[in-house]
Amino acid sequence: GSCQGNSVERKIYIPLNKTAPCVRLLNATHQIGCQSSISGDTGVIHVVEKEEDLNWVLTDGPHPPYMILLDGNLFNRRVMLQLKGTSRVSGLAVAVAKPSPPQGFSPGLKCPNDGFGVYSKDYGPQFAHCNKTVWNPVGSGLSYEDFDFPIFLLEDANETQVIKQCYQDHNVPRDGSGPEYPLCAMQLFSHMHAVTSTVTCMRRSSLQSTFSINPEVVCDPLLDYNVWSTLQPINSSGKVNPEKEVIIVATRIDSHSFFWNIAPGAESAVSSFVTHLAAAEALRKVSDVHLLQRNIMFTFFQGETFDYIGSSRMVYDMEKDKFPLRLDNIHSFVELNQVALRNDSILWMHTDPVSRMNESVEVQVRNLLDILSNSSMGANVTLQEAGFSQPLPPSSFQRFLRARHIPGVVITDHRTAFQNRYYQSMYDTPENIRMQYPEGLSPEETLEYVTDTAKSLAEVATVVARALYRLAGGANNTSAIQADPKTVSRMLYGFLIKMNNSWFQSIIKPDIKGILGDVPQHYVAVSSPVNTTYLVQYVLANLTGTVVNLTKEECLNPEKTPSSEKEMYEYAWVQGSLDPNSTSRVPYCVRSTVHLSKALSPAFELRQWGSTEYSTWTESRWKEIRARIFLVASKELEIITLVVGIAILIFSLLATYFINAKADVLFSIPRDPGAVAY
């Protein structure tokens, strides 16, 4: 029975398998994103490749509601708000624009994370709400709109072609009049369970959990883990001595776009965290790191796109004594933030003009700027000050400044507005940071090929590593401190092009090899840790840790080995490379100072779901996400079919009743004529 049913369904529907939906996210006051009705939304397909084609959908077409196949170049705020204001549209499938829209495309806000940084009516009011500098001028805010119809991204050009062909065959208007039935239609399913705001959905989930045996959770907080590591090992379960000074180096590791789990983030996240990892490796190789008077902490924050989830949680933990470091231990703060698109090899150093009014902070910031500038001497990178009257760009450092006046600097490739014209969009891809490979390379050759982008980011990493060495009190010549362009190449390939590569396979634990999907995405999500977090953790351990001679048993249970110093180090049994002469791997044990710490907004810990102090972003749950196309008959034919079906049913019932009533006459057994009655 079920096999037949499936084959009938396959004859009717063509499923679209390579799609990405727009889903609903919620914060303390709003819901944003998209959803379909509970049974999915259906409409006749109309292809819109230029703005004039919209007239058919909005006014002229005789068969509303329409499902629009929209050219990627028309996916902008003006067109979307037109479609949002009509009942003649039941959904949208967006084709990726190739090449990326030349005018830029950013569905993020013009003032990212506004209200959650350091500037407010009480602190630098002249800089609040991007009054001084609009950081993301191409930001349309499209990701922060609420649409009541489904919107899907078509990731596969072949599927887009199938839809266009179906449209050409059935839906193209003939001689100015509407096309004839049957018509090609599309159905999109993306019904969301959560509504209104985080306050509402978390309260519902909480009530369900209290009173129901099978609670129906409707939304989940965006959460993950921050990755952190120190140059000199510290006791991760104890507290660092208050006199011990630590320099924090930070970057974000997450990105976002209009569509769920489509977040390539090449310039907005990957360029900076790859540079950060390369700088960590360069410092680890320095011979006298254990003698430095200040420790260096490498920190990778998760969830920063959504109002600084990771950094606000780390600051909260430091204030509440739930982290090995306290805020008092922080000597200075260096953050890398979008560094791949520099003009004339210049990088800009941004500082906070408000805290610099304090004389002691000003002296330390001045020292920090001088060390960074001097470290770029003789390199292909020039570090310049962005200017005293300019505020900090959106950065994790702002969350630390909210807690106390820490001397710090944020390094970027932009003096004022972002160089990145595709901030928080699906077009922030390797091409955006000018990564190019020669044609005809195998995956292995591509992994090892050193691109110009890799060389350029390695130069930035070298300058940062040298400056950190000086800041930490290093006195030797820094010319030997050099980031490796080959490592940077591998990381860019792994984090931007193909996660499932031989290097990543060799440095992770065997039990998590399933995380190595194909195309890397860097969305924070609700199930943790996400692939990016795991991989940053294991890449950092590989680049800064040491291989120790322990058996698998000892590596997995280091507390049983007396000399393991379990509270100072983390141990990982990793897969290792393939043995050249066989198909088996050569696993080994890595000892490192790499740790994970929770990146869940304190608002959820405190159950303050309406907080204006902390991030309150949640993601709605859903039952199914799918898309399919099929041919739809005219309403008249559907009604005729229904009426004929009902007539046949009534006739069948009457016939059955009649036959049943006369069964004794119709089905009586005739007498045997040979039988004689006495």
Of 218, 50, 78, the closest CA to residue 145 belongs to 78
Our measurement of the distance from residue 85's CA atom to the centroid of its chain's CA atoms, rounded to an integer in Å, reads: 29
CB neighbours of 444 closer than 8 A, spacing ≥ 6? Answer: 502
CA dihedral 117→120→123→128, nearest 10 degrees, is 80
**End-to-end CA separation in angstroms for the chain:** 57
Mean pLDDT, residues 203-231 taken together:
91
Pairwise CA distance, residues 255 & 524, whole Å:
7
Q: Are 260 and 436 in contact (CB under 8 A)?
A: no
Dihedral of the alpha carbons of 611, 297, 303, 238, in degrees to the nearest 10: -60
Q: Residue 7, Cβ neighbours under 10 Å: how many?
A: 9
Q: What is the pLDDT of residue 9?
A: 81
- Whether the CB-CB separation of 588 and 576 falls below 8 Å is answered with yes
Of the listed ranges 25-29, 204-208, 269-273, 355-359, the one predicted with least confidence:
204-208
C-beta neighbour count of 512 within 10 angstroms = 14
CA dist 69 and 343 (Å) reads 38
The residues near 547 (Cβ < 8 Å, ≥ 6 apart) are 588, 589, 590, 591
Distance CA 492, CA 273 (A): 10
**Which helix (DSSP H) or strand (DSSP E) does residue 229 occupy?**
strand 223-230
Task: Please tell me the predicted confidence (pLDDT) of residue 2.
Answer: 46
Specify whether the CB–CB gap between 629 and 16 falls below 8 A. yes
pTM over 0.75: yes
Confidence check: pLDDT of 5 > 70: no
Average pLDDT over the chain reads: 92
Q: What is the pLDDT of residue 407?
A: 96
486-522 confidence digits (pLDDT tens): 999 999 999 999 999 999 999 999 998 888 887 889 9
How much of the chain exceeds pLDDT 90, in percent? 78
Sign of CA dihedral 497, 502, 506, 509: positive
670: confidence class by pLDDT, cuts 50, 70, 90: low
Q: Quick count: other Cβ atoms within 10 Å of Cβ 288?
A: 10
**pLDDT value of residue 368:** 96
Q: How far apart are CA 335 and CA 298, in angstroms?
A: 10
d(CA 271, CA 338): 6
- pLDDT single digits (tens) 175-206: 767 788 899 999 999 999 999 999 999 999 99
User: Which tokens in the block code for residue 195?
Assistant: 């509504």
Q: Which two tokens stand for residue 625?
A: 């996400």
Dihedral sign, Cα of residue 547, residue 552, residue 556, residue 558: negative
What is the CATH T-level fold of the domain 223-539+593-600, as seen in this structure?
A: Aminopeptidase (3.40.630)
pLDDT by residue (tens digit) across 225-254? Answer: 999 999 999 988 888 888 899 999 999 999
The DSSP 8-state label assigned to residue 269 in this structure reads I
DSSP 129-194: GGSS--S-TTB--GGGSEESS-EEEE--HHHHHHHHHHHHHHTSPBTTBPPPSSEEEEEEE--BS-
* Residue among 335, 170, 179 at smallest CA distance from 252: 335
Mean pLDDT lowest for which of 174-178, 469-473, 538-542? 174-178
Q: Which residues pair with 63 in a beta bridge?
A: none
> Can you tell me the distance from the alpha carbon of 85 to that of 59, in angstroms, rounded to the nearest whole number?
13
**Type of residue numbered 620:** S
Rounded Cα gap, residues 332 and 245, in angstroms = 9
Q: Which residue has the tokens 């959560």?
A: 194
**DSSP characters over 426-466:** TT-SGGGGT----TT--HHHHHH---HHHHHHHHHHHHHHH
- What is the pLDDT at residue 676? 57
d(CA 32, CA 259): 12
Mean pLDDT of 422-439: 94
As to burial, measured by CB atoms within 10 angstroms (0-12 exposed, 13-18 middle, 19+ buried), residue 462 is buried
Could you tell me the pLDDT band of residue 527, with boundaries at 50, 70 and 90?
A: confident
Task: Report d(CA 394, CA 424) in Å as an integer.
Answer: 13
Q: What is the pLDDT of residue 344?
A: 83
Amino acid symbol at 227: V
- Sheet with 14-16: strands ordered across: 14-16, 626-632, 183-189, 41-48, 66-70, 89-95, 151-154, 19-21
Question: Distance between CA atoms of 182 and 668, rounded to whole angstroms?
Answer: 51
The C-alpha atoms of residue 452 and residue 456 are separated, in whole angstroms, by: 6
- Lowest mean per-residue pLDDT among 14-18, 146-150, 466-470, 566-570: 566-570
Other Cβ atoms less than 10 A from the Cβ of 22: the count is: 27
- pLDDT band for position 656 (50/70/90)? very high
**If you average pLDDT over residues 100-114, what whole number do you get?**
95
Measuring CA to CA, how many Å separate 367 from each of 360, 408, 588? 11, 10, 43
Joined together, the tokens standing for residue 90 give 């039941």
Is 378 in contact with 477 (CB distance < 8 Å)? no
Q: pLDDT tier at 523 (50, 70, 90 boundaries)?
A: very high
- Out of 72-81, 374-383, 509-518, the most confident range is 72-81
Say whether pLDDT at 167 is over 90.
Answer: yes
Q: Extract the tokens encoding 571.
A: 């141990």
Within 10 Å of residue 635's Cβ, how many Cβ atoms?
Answer: 10
Please give the Cα distance from 555 to 570 (Å, whole number).
9
Q: What is the pLDDT of residue 388?
A: 77
Q: Where in the chain is the domain with CATH 3.40.630.10?
A: 223-539+593-600
Q: What tokens appear for 134 in the block?
A: 């609009």
H or E stretch including 209?
helix 198-211
Position 513 scores a pLDDT of: 84
| Centroid of chain to Cα 66 | 30
List the strands of the sheet with 146-147, edge to edge: 146-147, 31-34, 25-26, 618-620, 219-221
Q: What is the mean pLDDT of residues 85-104?
A: 93
Averaged pLDDT, 450-469: 96
Is residue 3 over pLDDT 80? Answer: no
pLDDT tens string 252-304:
999 999 999 899 999 999 999 999 999 999 999 998 888 899 999 999 999 99
CA distance 258 to 23: 9
Confidence of residue 1 (pLDDT cuts 50, 70, 90): very low
For residue 410, give the DSSP letter.
E
Contact 149, 89 (CB under 8 A): yes
